Structure 1
Amino acid sequence: MALPPGAARHVQVLRLQPGDALTLFDGSGGEYAATIERMGRSEVTVQVTARAAIEREAPRAVHLAIGMPANERMDWLVEKATELGVASIQPLMTAHGVLRLAGERADKKRAHWQAIAIAACEQCGRNRVPLVHPVRALAGWIDSPPIDDAERFVLSLAEGAHGLREIRDGAAADGLRGACVLSGPEGGLSAAEESDAIVRGFAPLSLGPRVLRAETAALAALVWLAHP
């Protein structure tokens, strides 16, 4: 079989040769042992020999819905969230968000972030690739977040928000249901957005007394909730 262009390029950069062994994955779980058969100018063909049912997923599936941070911070967030075991990523446009995407530009950004997730899986040995959903406005997404049977949380600085340890201990006793975490961009969610989330069943979740950067907050919640 011929490798996809990205994987073939990776093999060529590593200067592998016919007869060398490879480990392949298709993003849906498990791994395949393979051997390089031929190295062309732009094409690499391999012989797949066996499949191993190896899993490296986090104990709890955590989905991140993120008010997109600006510049390259969203790239970094997608990469690190993938390494840390995120189940899926929903990029959102919010009231305080700087990044505004629509149409072809939004499609290109989504494809770019999905490629980052694939590359992060290749680097860390993860064999299930998290899905990066199409960019949406928070106002439309929050009415029907597409995560079935998952607890819902919104990161909040408000008094009375649940602490991470409280939520994590509850998850351990609740059979590790999945979780969906809504996190704002730089400046956080607006008061109206946070209120709307709470009305729709998102429990306010505190990360402690300090104000974290948007990308730091999302990753901190991911690590704590994915490994109760």
Structure 2
Amino acid sequence: MKFTLLGTGSVKGCPVYGCDCPACINTLMDPFLTRRPASATLESEGELILIDAGLTDLEDRFPAGTLRQILLTHYHMDHIAGLFSLRWGSALNIPVYGPDCDDAPVELIKHTGILDFTQSITPFSRFLSAGIEITPLPLKHSRPTYGYQFRRNRKNVIYLTDTLGLPDDTLTYLARDSIDVMIIDCSYPPNLENYPGAHNNLTDVIHLHEAIHPTKTILTHIGHEMDHWMNTNTLPENIEPGHDGMVIMV
């Protein structure tokens, strides 16, 4: 499996519009540090699966006919904004999997265009796509949200954004398994006061890393506060930051 992180930023991205913090200034000086909406692709057997669709240039990134399907974690705008233009394509049908679309914006479901929202998935029920076993995993967020487990040839990757900790059933399910790579929300540094309560800080991630014991943990949905913290601090062993364009082969 080839896993590519298209975007690794929190809802604000980095640089944050109008912000002059050191992390945002560094990003303006070095575009490699830019963080766009958290999203990824998974490639297997010549097929391409898109995970979340917050990027608004999907038509440029993916020529017509190249996307097998789209997996959505949830319906916040930074994870679905690109669908609003993509849907007006022609002569295509792209299956979209995710939480119950009753939670989706009315405009998106009223005029779906080439997007097929009729696919039904349920928590912990595996389905097969491009030779990969995919399992939806409930997360803890401000609206219904799934993470996903991907299994192929005894390799096991989990993608967990957006979340603050994990529900007990998801944590129990993952803790008894052998995980090669955990890609997880880490929006904030440790000990940040008064941070919004729907995303992990680094302390939360460390607790989950110790509970699940993946071989490697990669951070995504990273906020500019976390980028600033990482400029002067070191992450624990086997935990590393993701970056836009990062390729993970498993």
TM-score above 0.5: no
Structure exhibiting the larger radius of gyration computed from Cα positions: 1
Bigger RCO of structures 1 and 2 (CA < 8 A, at least 6 apart):
1
TM-score, normalised to structure 2's length? 0.29
Higher helix share: 1
If the length of structure 1 is used for normalisation, what is the TM-score? Answer: 0.31
